[in-house]
Amino acid sequence: MSSKLELTRYPLQWLFPVLILVIVFTIYPFAYAIYNSFFQILLVLPTTPFIGLKNYMRVVVSPYFWESLVNTLIFAAVTAPVTVIISLGVARLLLTKFVGRGAVRALVLLPWAIPGSVAGILWLWIFHGQFGVLNALLYSLGIIRTYIQFLKDPLLAKICVMIAHVWTQVPFASVLLMAALTTINKELYEAAEVDGAGSFRRLISVTIPSAAGMLIIALIYELIIGITAYDVVYSLTGGGPGGATTLLSYYIWKESFTQLNFGTGSALGVLVALLTLALITTILKVIPNQIMVKE
């Protein structure tokens, strides 16, 4: 299709507002972060000597880094597909006619509007070990005799953080997928039905291929959000118990703003950026898609 279009000169008049923002608020700061990562920048010390790769060395030998890296990869690898699968179901449901659909459609969006830090507090109210709703409920039903410390157990705490995160992410992914599902040609479903395809078969051979572009966008978006997640953890567990729920972004934050070590914080940031970049380009290469613009 693009070959039909005539070659024009660079359309700066269309792009400049976005490009200026990209340069001032992404390229320049990222270059600055790379530059900082080669210096020892401790806010408590007046001098900032060049130390080469020492910041990176410091990161790579730190067990906390590896722990939070593994945490982050598991977190993103679990939450992104789970969010997309739930959202696909939600999108499908909200396109089915039923009584009260309008109200459900509006209510489903609400978690989207909740700041991550606030969502963390909301789920703290549910999982709290002294007065949490879940504990009170289980106790009242006679299932437990003493309260469970959900956020003090490493595994349970990880699951709690993931639930809270998925909860905030489902609405937006659902909107995206609803948009994609409505564009699917209904005749495809009818043809599949004539061929005797059951609902699972229709999902696999009609819905998923037809909505593939948006599914990949949603998956990538959720992976990025998962890898850079930060605020739910901040208010739900504070990264604990121990380092069990410390994610990379939270670790960068702690290194930069509580240890006041901007050099190492920058080195960490650069590493995370490279990791994300590698992951996303691999996905775009492996899964055939029409998302990225070509010349």
By CB under 8 A, the residues from 49 to 88 that bind another protein are none
- Does residue 96 sit in helix, strand or coil? coil
Whole-Å CA distances, 32 to 17, 263, 281:
22, 11, 24
Q: Map tokens 């380009």 to a residue.
A: 281
Q: What is the DSSP letter of 6?
A: P
Stretch 230-259: interaction string toward another protein, x if CB under 8 A: xx--xx------------xxx-xx--xx--
- In the region spanning residues 198 to 237, those forming contacts with another protein, defined by CB under 8 A, are 213-214, 217, 221, 224, 227-228, 230-231, 234-235
Q: Map tokens 């070659």 to a residue.
A: 7
Shortest distance, CB of residue 174 to another protein, whole angstroms?
A: 9
Backbone phi, then psi, for 7, in 5-degree steps? Answer: -75, 125
Shortest distance, CB of residue 237 to another protein, whole angstroms?
A: 12
- Does residue 65 sit in helix, strand or coil? helix
Q: Which two tokens stand for residue 211?
A: 């909505």
Shortest distance, CB of residue 133 to another protein, whole angstroms?
A: 6
Contact with another protein (CB under 8 A) among 139, 152, 205, 283: 139
Which one, 52 or 101, has the nearer CB to another protein? 101
Task: From 57, 122, 112, select the one nearest 263 (Cα to Cα).
Answer: 57
Stretch 6-45: interaction string toward another protein, x if CB under 8 A: xxxxxx--xx-xxx-xx-xxx-xxx-xx--x---------
Residues 6+ apart with CB under 8 A from 33: 266, 269, 270
Q: Rule CB under 8 A: say whether 266 interacts with another protein.
A: yes
Shortest distance, CB of residue 158 to another protein, whole angstroms?
A: 19
- In the region spanning residues 85 to 124, those forming contacts with another protein, defined by CB under 8 A, are 89-90, 93-96, 98, 100-102, 104-118, 120-123
Q: Rule CB under 8 A: say whether 161 interacts with another protein.
A: no
CA distance 289 to 58: 39
Q: How many residues bind another protein (CB under 8 A)?
A: 108
In contact, 247 and 71? CB cutoff 8 Å? yes
Task: From 192, 195, 194, select the one nearest 208 (Cα to Cα).
Answer: 192
Shortest distance, CB of residue 192 to another protein, whole angstroms?
A: 17
- In the region spanning residues 172 to 191, those forming contacts with another protein, defined by CB under 8 A, are 172, 175-176, 178-179, 182-183
